[in-house]
Structure 1
Amino acid sequence: MTYFTRYLLVFVCALFTLTAANGQDTNSGAWYMYFGTNKIGQNLYWHNEIQYRNHNWGGDLEQLLLRTGVGFDLTENNNNLLLGYGYIISQPYHQNEKSEILEHRIFQQFINKETIGRIVIQNRYRLEERFLSEDYKMRFRYFMGFNIPLSQSRMAPKTVYLSLYNEIFLNLNAPVFDRNRVYGALGYTINNTLKVEAGYMTQLYENNYRGQFQLAVFNTMPFSSRNE
């Protein structure tokens, strides 16, 4: 049995136990996500993102999030800036009736990455200007994530890894605390530009929480050569 198969079996068992425990909880849903970070110049890259979020495992849309942007690498693979735009369709329930909220979002972010031992650490600082159907809000987000290789000593192709992150959301107006996300997943690097993750994320609000199963694909295939 390969490393990947063994880790996958253990993770699936743990995930099944977790989702079964929440099986009767209407606060559990599923997110299916694609993230692209593709080089378009010597220091420029294009960010593209699709997130299909469900109230349940599928077929009951909670939110469709489309995000794109252009980034600039300050240093190779370590520090970068991004200016982006997002279009979001949200369909929340209120007393068993669904409504629809449209949002246009502009955001600016700075990402710092570093490797300590075998652990890859990412810090992301993001400011959002949110233009909703009948409102305008500003929000700050701080993300700290860890990728820990399990089957090899570093994040190389065909590596099974553990992915963990915590992200806090703070409004620039009252109430200040918006939410906090805690995430754990098992990932696999298919090659140098493609990896997949499956895991579970809990969103903690002031008075309640919501859990989501997550399946994500990450693509970093460049659209231009490094020596362009």
Structure 2
Amino acid sequence: MKKILTKLAFTVLSLGSVAVAAQKSDLGAWYMYFGNNKISKKLNLHNEIQYRNFDAVGDLEQLLIRTGIGYDLTENNNNVLLGYGFILSRPYVNGEKTENIEHRIFQQFITRQKFGRFNLQHRYRLEERFLQDDFRMRFRYMVGLNIPITQKEMLPKSLYASVYNEIFLSFDSPVFDRNRVYGALGYVINKNMRIEAGYMNQLQENRNRGQIQIGFYNNIPFNKN
């Protein structure tokens, strides 16, 4: 099973590198907070805020708030999660700023593997999207790698490289929704916190869109143990 997951992961990463080939591109910025906090030995609380801009700051494209409860099937791994997302979008339509609200329910499974310095993660996510005048479903698969640079492990005060590729598949036609490819440098602040800064390219409807991303990750446990 591990060999199958690994082959799938590197296949998707390879496809992602092809997907960033040249289409029209413009640059935005995403500022992100991710919390994954233990509330018991098996349960965790996921909490997330993403502030996405058309430019560096000030021209809001999307505000995304997600939360959920997860359960580890094995010790600190193989996590299943049920969550909810609130998404406020402000796209331009014919040059005019508009506003849309989406409520989203999602189910996901995350599994992690380690090969020497390589910390590999697979995330499978199913989304039920309640838009203002529509209902849609979507499947997402993400594979990511964290690779420590200045130390052999992801230890405090160490630098690391982070890459991922994520493909989105719609239950409607067309099936292909979008693909995201990401690369960043990160810094491990302590055993429960780290920060990343990088670049993500999104291919959607034959158009590439670049995003500068800054993310903060908080894993401080809420339980006493």
TM (norm. structure 2) is 0.88
Task: Output the amino acid matched with 2:168.
Answer: F
Residue identity (%): 62
Per-residue displacement from partner, 1:136-161 (whole Å, max 9, x unpaired)? Answer: 00000000000000000011111100
CA distance in 1, matches of 2:60, 2:33: 17
User: What does residue 199 of structure 2 align with?
Assistant: 200
CA distance in 2, matches of 1:128, 1:26: 27
In structure 2, C-alpha distance between the alignment counterparts of 1:191 and 1:170, rounded to whole Å: 36
Map of 1:225 onto structure 2: 224
Q: Aligned pair 1:55/2:54, yes or no?
A: yes
Equivalence for 2:181: 182
The answer (yes or no) to whether the contact 1:146–1:163 under 8 Å persists in 2 is yes
Could you list the runs of 5+ residues in structure 1 that have no partner in the other structure?
1-24
Aligned to 1:9: none
Which residue does the alignment assign to 1:29? 28
Question: Equivalent residue for 1:118?
Answer: 117
Partner of 1:79: 78
Task: Tell me the amino acid that sits aligned with residue 143 of structure 1.
Answer: M
Q: Distance in 1 between matches of 2:145 and 2:41?
A: 27
SS, match of residue 175 in structure 1: coil
* Mapped partners of 2:26, 2:84: distance in 1: 28
Q: CA deviation at 1:213?
A: 0.1
Render the CA deviation track for 1:15-63: whole Å, top value 9, x for unaligned.
Answer: xxxxxxxxxx872100000000001112101000000000000000000
Structure-2 residue corresponding to 1:101: 100
How many Å separate the matches in 2 of 1:135 and 1:210?
25
Contact 1:62 1:92 survives alignment (8 Å): yes
Which residue in the other structure is 2:16 paired with? none
2:5 maps to which residue?
Answer: none
- Separation of aligned partners in 1, 2:153 and 2:75: 18
Aligned amino acid, residue 166 of structure 1: N
Shift >4 Å, 4+ stretches = none
Is the partner of 2:153 in helix, strand or coil?
coil
Match of 1:169 in 2: 168
Output one character per residue of 1:1-20: Cα deviation in whole Å (capped at 9) or x when no partner. Answer: xxxxxxxxxxxxxxxxxxxx
Letter in 2 for 1:203: Q
Distance 1:184 1:42 in 2: 32
- Once residues 39 and 141 of structure 1 are traced to their aligned partners in structure 2, the CA distance between those partners, rounded to angstroms, is 25
2:187 and 2:38 map into 1 onto residues whose CA distance is: 22
TM-score by length of 1: 0.87
